[in-house]
Amino acid sequence: MFNLFPKRTRLKDYSFLGVDLHSHLLPGIDDGAKSMADSLALIRELQQMGFRKLITTPHVMGELYPNKPETILNQYQAVRDALGAEPDVTVSLHTAAEYMLDELFGEKLDNAELLTLPGRRVLVEMSFISAPPNLEEYLFRLQAKGYLPLLAHPERYLFLRDSFHKYHGLKERGCEFQLNILSLAGYYGKHVRENAFHLLREGLIDFLGTDLHHQQHAGFLRAALEDPAIAKAVRKVEFKNSELG
């Protein structure tokens, strides 16, 4: 039968982004990859979906995931070593971190070099219940130290949805936004999905990321490629992913 909406309404793969800047691929140090085998399988998935560079971002979160730069860099090196024995893996792997803006973040900011994405960008997240009371102070202090704050999954902070101007306020304060593809795919529910499309339409999103933790996420990332609504929304935006190398 003649198809009025041929395949081009869908995304072929994620090669239009090239670089993924948010994932949890290092084994055993957060709620992402559980083992080295798991880690290698997730890296292969992302390569097959069209990414050529991965900057993985383990959680640095209070007492739950108290990862220090050395912990992350050691585990990163272990995965790099394991990849040395996997010649079919051609995607390049790098690491930064995803910092929770909690009470312990200020101390890290004062006392240590943060692990950054290119351009001294620091990937930050906050609680899904409310913004930290000192959010503006943290953003200011990051910038005063020459970092560029990059907020992970702004669409998931539903407490901001009803005061949408606050998103604009954060952008005006120099914060970049990274949206999760999983949000567009409906992984976190209808409200997050709607908010994700809204932020895209408003032109507020700088980067798309996978936030890949496990195989179920990989399934949703593949499904997103088949969704014409996602293809239509993302084709209208010029993302900055390729600026990361």
Identify the burial level of 183 via C-beta atoms within 10 angstroms of its C-beta, where 0-12 means exposed, 13-18 middle and 19 or more buried: buried
Q: Which is nearer to Fe ion, 87 or 207 (CB)?
A: 207
- DSSP H stretches of helix in 113-180: 135-144, 165-172
What are the Cα distances from residue 180, in Å, to 28, 144, 199, 220?
A: 22, 28, 11, 11
Q: Return the SS3 of 94.
A: strand
Asked if 155 touches Fe ion (CB under 5 A), the answer is no
Contact region with Fe ion (CB under 5 A), list: 96-104, 112-120, 187-195, 223-231: 96-104
Q: Taking the complex as a whole, how short is the minimal distance between the CB of residue 228 and Fe ion, in angstroms?
A: 27
What are the Cα distances from residue 148, in Å, to 54, 72, 90, 115, 122?
A: 19, 21, 29, 12, 6
Residue with nearest beta carbon to Fe ion: 211
Q: Which is nearer to Fe ion, 138 or 163 (CB)?
A: 138
Asked if 211 touches Fe ion (CB under 5 A), the answer is yes
Q: Taking the complex as a whole, how short is the minimal distance between the CB of residue 207 and Fe ion, in angstroms?
A: 13
The residue count for binding Fe ion (CB under 5 A) is: 2
Contact region with Fe ion (CB under 5 A), list: 92-100, 179-187, 200-208, 218-226: 92-100
Contact region with Fe ion (CB under 5 A), list: 37-45, 107-115, 210-218, 229-237: 210-218
Q: Taking the complex as a whole, how short is the minimal distance between the CB of residue 7 and Fe ion, in angstroms?
A: 31
For Fe ion, the binding residues in 69-88 under the rule CB under 5 A are: none
Q: Which is nearer to Fe ion, 10 or 94 (CB)?
A: 94
Q: Taking the complex as a whole, how short is the minimal distance between the CB of residue 153 and Fe ion, in angstroms?
A: 7
End-to-end CA distance of the chain: 43
Asked if 176 touches Fe ion (CB under 5 A), the answer is no
- What residues contact 84, with CB distance under 8 A and at least 6 apart? none
Q: Which of 187, 166, 191 is nearest to 177 (CA)?
A: 166
Contact region with Fe ion (CB under 5 A), list: 4-12, 68-76, 98-106, 137-145: 98-106
CA 235 to chain centre: 19
Contacting positions for Fe ion (CB under 5 A): 98, 211
